[in-house]
């Protein structure tokens, strides 16, 4: 039977229940040698992320591809308004159970409600699952329409480091070519984001991933867009 990313994420959780932050991260797939995320190293990176977008105490944060809510969990604990959308019903159920009062919806990323505005719209570890650059651009435009202040795309596979990254994935995953057949990642060049920003009159900040003790981070970068007033 052929596999796709949607099937894989839907099968990550059997019965949604109350979980701690570590368990929520594992439910989102950050649980192997190359993609181990823990609250401490994610929080370290997020301090940098929030400084870049100038996050204020009154701001709201909406995540496209939110999964279990693990990326938003620290903000939720600090009292921020959080919400998101994800294709996996099981993972959304986890977010609803564990981030009480959050605004979470099950659906395709392209189905975000752009009439409902949020201050910051983000994605973390999502864009490499997309079928094409055209899909990514369409979604980026919707994310910009939904946001009041900024759009941030964290965890972008760097096209310039693709060969090194694929070699690392094979070295750390038994039967990689067999098990991941048809499940390729979509890689992006930094120039693609520069061109997008120029076409749409946006201010762009690019930076390499800043998560410590995180193997995948060596091959990924982040993009933050702000509207030019």
Residue 72 has pLDDT above 60, yes or no: yes
Grade residue 2 by pLDDT with cuts at 50, 70 and 90: very low
Cα gap 211→216, rounded to integer Å: 9
* Strands lying side by side in the sheet with 81-86: 103-106, 81-86, 60-64, 118-124, 147-157, 220-227, 202-208
Mean pLDDT of 136-155: 98
Cα gap 133→140, rounded to integer Å: 10
Burial of 215 by CB count in 10 Å (0-12 exposed, 13-18 middle, 19+ buried)? middle
Would you say 67 and 28 are in contact if contact means Cβ atoms under 8 Å apart?
Answer: yes
Q: Which of 1, 9, 3 is nearest to 181 (CA)?
A: 3
Lowest-pLDDT range, 60-69, 86-95, 122-131, 167-176?
167-176
**Number of Cα atoms under 13 Å in the Cβ half of residue 159:** 10
What phi, psi does 15 have (nearest 5°)? Answer: -135, 105
Mind listing the pLDDT tens digit for each residue in 50-61?
Answer: 999 999 999 999
Percent of all residues in the chain with a pLDDT value above 70, rounded to a whole number? 91
Q: Which residue has the tokens 């190359």?
A: 34
- 0.85 exceeded by the pTM? yes
Report domain extents, the chain.
5-227
Answer yes or no: CATH 3.40.50.1980 is held by domain 5-227.
no
Q: Are strands 81-86 and 202-208 parallel, antiparallel or unpaired?
A: unpaired
Grade residue 96 by pLDDT with cuts at 50, 70 and 90: very high
Would you say 4 and 182 are in contact if contact means Cβ atoms under 8 Å apart?
Answer: yes
Mean pLDDT of 103-116: 96
pLDDT at residue 24 in the model:
96
Mean pLDDT of 194-199: 97
């Amino acid at each position: 039977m052929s596999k796709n990313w949607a099937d894989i994420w839907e099968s990550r959780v059997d019965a949604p229940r109350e979980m701690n932050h570590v368990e929520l991260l594992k439910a989102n797939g950050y649980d192997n040698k190359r993609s181990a995320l823990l609250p401490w190293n994610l929080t370290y990176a997020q301090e940098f992320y929030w400084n870049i977008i100038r996050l204020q105490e009154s701001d709201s944060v909406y995540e496209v591809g939110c999964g279990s809510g693990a990326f938003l969990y620290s903000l939720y604990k600090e009292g921020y308004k959080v919400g998101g959308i994800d294709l996996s019903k099981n993972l959304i159920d986890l977010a609803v159970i564990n981030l009480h009062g959050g605004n979470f919806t099950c659906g395709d990323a392209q189905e975000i409600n752009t009439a409902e505005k949020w201050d910051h719209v983000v994605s973390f570890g999502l864009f490499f699952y997309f079928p094409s650059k055209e899909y990514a651009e369409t979604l980026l435009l919707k994310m910009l329409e939904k946001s009041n202040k900024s759009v941030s795309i964290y965890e972008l596979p760097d096209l310039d480091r693709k060969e090194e990254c694929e070699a690392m994935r094979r070295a750390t995953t038994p039967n990689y070519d067999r098990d991941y057949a048809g499940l390729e990642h979509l890689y992006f060049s930094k120039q693609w984001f520069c061109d997008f920003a120029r076409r749409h009159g946006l201010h762009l900040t690019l930076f390499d991933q800043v998560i410590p003790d995180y193997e995948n981070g060596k091959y990924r970068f982040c993009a933050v867009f702000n509207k030019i007033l």
